[in-house]
Amino acid sequence: MKNLILFVTSILTLISTSTFAQEESSLSVGGAVRYNVLLTDYEDNTIDNNDGQFTWDTWRINVNANKKGVKLNFEYRFYPTFNTHFVKQGWLGYDFNEKNNIQIGVTQVPFGNLQYNSHNWWFQGPYYVGLEDDHDMGLKYTYTGKDWDFMGAYFFQPEPAGPAGGSGSFGFGGSGRYSYDIVPTGNQSNYERNQLNARATRTFNIENGSLEVGASAEVGQIWNQALDETTSRYALAAHTDINYGNWNFKGQFINYGMDAQNDLGQSVNFVNMGAYGTPYPVATEMNLYSAGLSYSYDVDWGPISNLNFYNDYTFFQKNIDGYNNAHQHVLGFLMTAGNVYTYFDIARGSNQPWITQNFGTGLAQGVNDARWNTRFNINIGYYF
């Protein structure tokens, strides 16, 4: 910890003494209000009026500030449906020059396709195991070159959790959070600690578009509080992001593994991960294959200016004997009308923990020959 404090202090000293030209001071406040309309067809194999809902998804506050080159990016979210609220991101940043940047605080983990590996409201499968749009507490460095981009980061712990998920409320162990992390529950008093990330991408200009290819690596610890012992975890990814005219393709392969144990010191085949509220078990070894294709089409229909059609799929291949694989498939489109962005999604899943009447099941052992469940979801959001 002492070395970490000295490192952060030295970075702050560099920020205060840098001679890079400063931007003028600025402050902007924004946010969003979002609603969900949904209809489900789950394991009970019936569709009736009780399956339909109109819910308040979220509202959020965003603050962006810049004074003497030091930036602030802060977002706080409220989820009435889940009875929780939490920080999504909150970092201080500084551009040393046009190519080099640093962020300190709750910032996005540099792993896989960024900012998202998906086109739809549901994200792709890696989100549900903590490997898409993850945010943690630490320090991140970014180099942006002409063709090459590099990112490196150290995260001491996950982002702070809000008031859901038990005794971890407003600490780092609760499950009321934006992105999935290992959380302590049952006989597994496990936390994520001391995570290192590295990401590199190369961009090629092609006729009528661009091709980005890259690789990411993540290593970290799992700290068992009851035993006061740490074990290891890792994740590796190869990814591509292709733009060609109005088309976009995102492809990604992930392999991860965790050496986890319960409070008795016994090795386990699953860990408990949480976000928003109730945690669920996730297999400790898995391959994830995801692919998504979208087509953007401009229109002039009153306030409607764009339709973005997409087809996103993830295959969860569990590398544990007796564990059953999972699938997620989302077909839909995003409609842009001024500040209103509306997702129309047909989300289907087999052993997917959210697309089921048995929430949280599917990503550990799962069910053999699991039923494909369906949720039709409309997410209406006004962003300001």
* pLDDT tens track for 288-303: 999 999 999 999 999 9
C-alpha triplet 107, 112, 117: angle, nearest 5° = 95
pLDDT at residue 16 in the model: 46
The top-level CATH class assigned to 2-18+28-383 is mainly beta
What pLDDT score does 175 carry? 86
Length of the chain: 384
Helix (H) or strand (E) holding 5: helix 2-17
CA distance 248 to 310: 9
pLDDT value for 174: 82
Tens of pLDDT, residue by residue over 345-357, are: 999 999 999 999 9
What pLDDT score does 18 carry?
Answer: 46
For residues 175-195, give the mean pLDDT.
Answer: 95
Cβ atoms of 190 and 271 closer than 8 Å = yes
Give residue 106's identity as a one-letter amino acid code: V
pLDDT digits (tens, 9 = 90+) for 97-144: 999 999 999 999 999 999 999 999 999 999 999 999 999 999 999 999
Which DSSP string do the residues of 172-211 spell out, in sequence order? SS-SBSSS-EE--BTTB-EEEEEEEEEEEEEEEEETTEEE
**DSSP label at residue 8:** H
Predicted local confidence at residue 24, as pLDDT = 77
Residue 17: pLDDT over 50: no
3-class SS of residue 113: coil
State the chain's mean pLDDT as an integer: 92
Global confidence as pTM: 0.92
Order of strands across the sheet that contains 181-182: 181-182, 270-274, 280-283
Q: What is the pLDDT of residues 248-286, one digit of tens each?
A: 999 999 999 999 999 999 999 999 999 998 999 999 999
pLDDT reading at 233 higher than 70? yes
User: Residue 219 above 70 pLDDT?
Assistant: yes
Task: Indicate the residue type of 32.
Answer: A
Please name the amino acid found at residue 355: I
What is the distance between the alpha carbons of residues 318 and 325, in angstroms, rounded to a whole number?
A: 6
Q: Coil, helix or strand for 58?
A: strand
Q: What is the mean pLDDT of residues 327-334?
A: 98
Residue matched to tokens 């009153």: 302
Within 10 A of 339 (CB to CB), how many other CB atoms are there? 12
Q: What is the four-CA torsion angle of 341, 345, 350, 353, rounded to 10 degrees?
A: 30
